[in-house]
Structure 1
Amino acid sequence: MCAKGGRLYDARLIFDKMNKRDEVSWNAMICGYSMHGLGIEALNLFDVMQQTNCRPNKLTFVGVLSACSNAGLLDIGQAHFNSMLQDYGIEPCIEYYTCMVWLLGRSGKFDEAVKLIGEIPFQPSVMVWRALLGACVIHKNVDL
């Protein structure tokens, strides 16, 4: 509740005082940092999570990929996108593809973003197209 409401300092105090953390508490902090523009903090916390016995789940990677997207960390985002299936057996969902399209587009990699959209194994959502359009606006790519 604190993290979602932007009270990240309070959320982290509570998180740090917890005797036992599960994927819900890790996800709350990672996603909280990510949603409030603190991508590096989200990724640092994800690194700590990986050092514990707590296994990341689908929501964890939404926070991680969003953090990469918001911070413009293309290489790290691509590495996490690839590791979801390879290392954790988590199949990419539409939210992951949306984050990757935004990250590629924001990085000016429009050809790769369009290629990724074509590789999505299901119907691209409005949010995928919105991510591409938003990146086009940033880079003034009127043609695309």
Structure 2
Amino acid sequence: MSGERQRFAVDCPSRLLFDQIADKWSVMVLTVLDPGPMRFNAIKRQLEGVTQKALTQCLRRLERNGLVLRRVIPVSPVAVEYEITPLGRSLQHPFKALYAWTLEHLGEVDEARRIFDSRSSPSPQADARMSIPAVA
């Protein structure tokens, strides 16, 4: 396979799975659940900015994909907790490596963004030259 370019077919099942496990909330939920089972609100408190709807959808996707187990606790009122499955745990190593890469290269990425933004932000005079005159 050396020298071959990877092709990502639109109907490839790996694309959907990758999209579902690599989105920001999924990665963060699996990270938060790493120490052990947690209830919904405890997870939500650890993920600043996540909405109830987004967290619910994320947990359902993770459960559907076999990465998280949802367990109903028969107390009054009924409670639900979530736990990483063995399949979900198999993602911890790659996720931790990705997080480590992020921390290691954050400065370089910030510098690249700064350079890009300085090139991409035309001056007000350039904006005036690039504008298209209105047609009467």
| TM-score (normalizing by structure 1) | 0.27
- Which has the larger share of strand? 2
Of the two structures, which has the highest relative contact order with CA contacts closer than 8 Å and spacing of 6 or more? 2
- Which has the larger share of helix? 1
| TM-score (normalizing by structure 2) | 0.29
